[in-house]
Amino acid sequence: MTTAPVASRLFEPARLGSLALPNRLVMAPMTRNRATADGVPQPIMATYYAQRATAGLIIAEASTPNAVGQTYANITAIHNEAHVAGWRRVTDAVRAAGGRMFLQLQHGGRVGHPDNSGLTPVAPSPVALPDTIHTPSGHQNAVVPREMTVEEIRSTVADFAAAARKAIDAGFAGVEVHAANGYLLHQFLAQGTNHRTDAYGGPVSGRIRFVVEVVQAVSDAIGPQRVGVRIAPGLTVNGIEEGDTESIYPALIDALAGVGPAYLHVVFADPDQPLFQEIRKNWPGTLIANPVLGWGGPLPADGGKHEGERLLAAGADLISLGRAFLANPDLVERLRIGAPLNALQDKGLMYVGGEAGYTDYPVLAAARHEGRVPEPTAP
């Protein structure tokens, strides 16, 4: 039995810069540790992303712009020609399947380990991550990062710009600068990790400077219409303590608006929070919102559709979903017709490599043939 599509703004077309998007659903970047030890995307990744090409936009997983920025083992990178060639296989496959992709650029900062990168991590200040780091030999205590010099800050800004150019060479439509989730750029924003007394620390105007310089350099390198920025106001993951969240983000939004990137991506956005409402009011461009679905908790039965619709009603332009796209290659169609979603497999499979929990999730036709998913009923 078939049913009529479920009416929702999520399925309306939209535009992002020069890109025409067939719907407003964005596949959020999700690290899945399927690259080689030196960061080259493997062929299985082309299969994985092409399976999900019906998303309005795919933002590919975090890739490091330099060697010292590596976080964990087997994550992707984008700072040499082997990385470019590996990613080009992925973007070619997604384009052939009708999709569109951005690449997220992420420097781990203190979230790293010498056993992963071969280098001592760097950060705004020598404040260690209060947690362990997964390495090829298991979890190890984090090391105290080395405080970046001003010269290293400038060279890192240049590395982000060079990585953005390589991403375009690899066939991506643009890049997302990751300034969230406790990684290097977020570390500069937060009082708990930024104890600097120079121009990159102290008051909010100093702590936002590095983020703004990175976004400016990336925009200069590939054009602002090809650039997005991800932020996570108030998020405490990876030991981040912002201290003055309500002051950081209005100032950052104003500064970024002057640069003019194509979009702002707000993680764990709550339409009822005044700060989200202020961001929407003051951000002049496209706003991608990632709904609050619980950190590590069970995935809602609707994959986040209801919360996404609430965010659209509150002014978001596009909605990003992560785990729902991981478990459902055909998520857009399932949500459109109201079909049940696949259950997530064992969380541990997300990070161990191979097909299990990665490319083996069934689409509707196969799932119904195997008796895993019933036919949807009319609403």
The confidence score (pLDDT) of residue 191 equals 98
Single-letter amino acid code for the residue at 190: A
The confidence score (pLDDT) of residue 202 equals 98
Name the pTM for this structure: 0.94
71-105 in b/e form (b: 16+ CB < 10 A) is bbbbbbbbbeeebbebbbbbbebbeeeebbbbbbb
Q: In this model, does residue 80 exceed pLDDT 90? A: yes
User: What is the average per-residue pLDDT within 52-67?
Assistant: 98
How confident is the model over 156-203, as pLDDT tens digits?
999 999 999 999 999 999 999 999 999 999 999 999 999 999 999 999
The confidence score (pLDDT) of residue 378 equals 38
Task: Tell me the C-alpha distance between 46 and 323, whole Å.
Answer: 18
The confidence score (pLDDT) of residue 299 equals 86
Contact call for residues 124 and 200 (beta carbons, < 8 A) = yes
Q: Which of 49, 72, 183, 200 is catalytic?
A: 183
Q: In this model, does residue 379 exceed pLDDT 50? A: no
Q: In this model, does residue 370 exceed pLDDT 60? A: no
Task: Show the domains of the chain with their CATH numbers.
Answer: 9-369 (3.20.20.70)
The confidence score (pLDDT) of residue 352 equals 77
Task: Tell me the C-alpha distance between 166 and 149, whole Å.
Answer: 25
The values of phi and psi at residue 19, to 5°, are -85, 135
Q: In whole numbers, what is the pLDDT of the chain averaged over residues?
A: 93
Distances (CA, A) of 47 to 42, 64, 96, 358: 10, 22, 11, 10
Q: In this model, does residue 1 exceed pLDDT 50? A: no
Q: In this model, does residue 124 exceed pLDDT 90? A: yes
Work out the pLDDT band at 369, boundaries 50, 70, 90. very low
State percent of the chain over pLDDT 90.
Answer: 88
Paired with 177 in beta bridges are 105, 229
Q: In this model, does residue 119 exceed pLDDT 90? A: yes
**Conformational region of residue 345, where left means phi above 0, alpha means psi within -120 to 50, and beta covers everything else:** beta
Task: Tell me the C-alpha distance between 111 and 212, whole Å.
Answer: 21
The confidence score (pLDDT) of residue 367 equals 52
| Known catalytic residue at 183 | yes
The confidence score (pLDDT) of residue 252 equals 98
How confident is the model over 232-274, as pLDDT tens digits?
999 999 999 999 999 999 999 999 999 999 999 999 999 999 9
Contact call for residues 229 and 215 (beta carbons, < 8 A) = yes
State percent of the chain over pLDDT 70.
Answer: 93
Q: In this model, does residue 217 exceed pLDDT 50? A: yes
The confidence score (pLDDT) of residue 353 equals 81
Single-letter amino acid code for the residue at 356: A
Contact residues for 221 (Cβ-Cβ < 8 A; gap 6+): 161, 162, 164, 165
Contact call for residues 254 and 211 (beta carbons, < 8 A) = no
Paired with 102 in beta bridges are 59, 174
Contact call for residues 237 and 295 (beta carbons, < 8 A) = yes
Task: Tell me the C-alpha distance between 229 and 244, whole Å.
Answer: 20
Contact residues for 297 (Cβ-Cβ < 8 A; gap 6+): none
Report CA 121 to chain centroid distance, whole Å.
Answer: 21
Task: Tell me the C-alpha distance between 351 and 237, whole Å.
Answer: 18
The confidence score (pLDDT) of residue 224 equals 98
Task: Tell me the C-alpha distance between 287 and 29, whole Å.
Answer: 16
How confident is the model over 197-210, as pLDDT tens digits?
999 999 999 999 99
The confidence score (pLDDT) of residue 366 equals 59
Q: In this model, does residue 216 exceed pLDDT 80? A: yes
Q: In this model, does residue 121 exceed pLDDT 60? A: yes
Report the C-alpha dihedral over residues 88, 91, 93, 99, rounded to 10 degrees.
Answer: -170
